[in-house]
Structure 1
Amino acid sequence: MTYLFDSNTFMEAARLYYHPEVAPGFWAWLIGDPMRDRIASVPAVQEEIANGEGELVDWARNTVPDCFWRPVTPDTLRAAAELSTWATDPARAYKQAAIDEFLDSCDYWLIAEAHAAGLTVVTREVSAPESRSRIKIPDVCRAFGIDCAQPFPVYQRLGLRLQQ
């Protein structure tokens, strides 16, 4: 199984509990050979990270191999069109600002790739199905039958062990 990581998974880890200077093993583990084909993300996430600052930006630009960032394919584009149709359906009653934000986000491309390739999305976002002002990753995943998970259970499933 391949896990597709959302930008918040990287950003919160770097900022809150696995700062690259404190836990370099975590960052090496994410892109190491044992995790190749098990952990990935999309170019839109790379771009969002690159717009930040600090060690995470350097890691994403200079350390992560290109193969980590799954390219947009014709299947991804077809899945993106399905997501767009779903998000803009008047029956969902999302506010226009929420739709615009979603369609312009890396979340949109992350979910499209997961849908196209049958991958699991890993995110820190929490479902909010009643929200009309924000389209949340877990809610879109649920609507399309895409597996969605929080990071720490995924780390455990993948056998993350940080040692000194």
Structure 2
Amino acid sequence: MTIAALRALIEEDLPHVRRLPAPRLPVRHFSAKETEPVNPNPPTTAPARPAPTDTAPLPVGKLLAWAASHPEKGIRDHAEKARTSLDALRARHAAAEELARIGTEAQELERRLAQLRARESELKPARKKAAYNLAEVRAWARAEGLPVSNNGRLPNTVVKAWRERAR
């Protein structure tokens, strides 16, 4: 069963569901070597076409029910393949819809979280700056042989020792 045939079946079964257009297939240009030879004696009559019917197309459910109860095994097999394909398409459509809802909700939550973080930063008190020059204290501590890191907070013992030195 072709994709176009499946799409037609789905459109008959669920005409109210919006769908994305089918992707465009690349156009291939054939060279003269690849084309079939032209018949110098074309047929004078047009090929027979099936007579158009004035009846409305059968809904997919009724068509599948008819095919499932048909005496020919080939038609029943076609019905089962179509039903399986439609079930797979419905499941994939439901997953795509849920993913779209999740994406929208995630964007909304991210926007709300940014608002909350901005408000939190407005309400938090400003951090106090150290009453001493960190680089100066680190240099003194290294000269005295005290262990200090290159960045971050200084241990209280180092700061107390530096202040005691100044007295």
**Higher strand fraction (1 or 2):** 1
Answer with 1 or 2: which has the greater Rg: 2
TM-score (norm 1): 0.24
TM-score (norm 2): 0.24
